[in-house]
Amino acid sequence: AQSVTQLGSHVSVSEGALVLLRCNYSSSVPPYLFWYVQYPNQGLQLLLKYTSAATLVKGINGFEAEFKKSETSFHLTKPSAHMSDAAEYFCAVTANSGGYQKVTFGTGTKLQVIP
């Protein structure tokens, strides 16, 4: 079984400030972890992913995330928020379990960037 918990359904930051979106996961087997972004009225776009290689993963648009097994976390960060970062962000986990793979999404975090 696997699950994802995103802390904070809404996060507001000032333009230029640090962005931190929290994600904790639970998985009975080694997980693969993802962050997706969804802009209003658009589909999902992959930001970055962890697939058991480097624990610090860099993605598009200046975002990065660090896989911390001891904390079962995969928090998303960006040093300086830009207005164009305003969107909804989803953390997701997949795992191979008996040959069946399934993606489980978190409930999402809406990021607001204040000018």
Partner 1 sequence: SAVISQKPSRDICQRGTSLTIQCQVDSQVTMMFWYRQQPGQSLTLIATANQGSEATYESGFVIDKFPISRPNLTFSTLTVSNMSPEDSSIYLCSVGGVNEQFFGPGTRLTVL
Which residues here bind partner 1, judged by CB under 8 A?
Answer: 32, 34, 36, 41-44, 46, 49, 51, 90, 92, 94-96, 101-103, 105-108
Considering the complex, what minimum distance in angstroms separates the CB of residue 31 from partner 1?
9
Considering the complex, what minimum distance in angstroms separates the CB of residue 79 from partner 1?
26
Beta bridge partners of 109: 89
Structure tokens at 50: 């962890």
Q: Which is nearer to partner 1, 17 or 104 (by Cβ)? A: 104
Let me know: does 50 contact 57? Beta carbons within 8 Å: yes
Q: Which is nearer to partner 1, 14 or 97 (by Cβ)? A: 97
Considering the complex, what minimum distance in angstroms separates the CB of residue 80 from partner 1?
27
Characterize 53-91 residue by residue with b for buried, 16 or more Cβ atoms within 10 angstroms of its Cβ, and e for exposed. eeeebebeeebbbebeeeeebbbbebeebeeebbbbbbb
Q: Which is nearer to partner 1, 13 or 90 (by Cβ)? A: 90
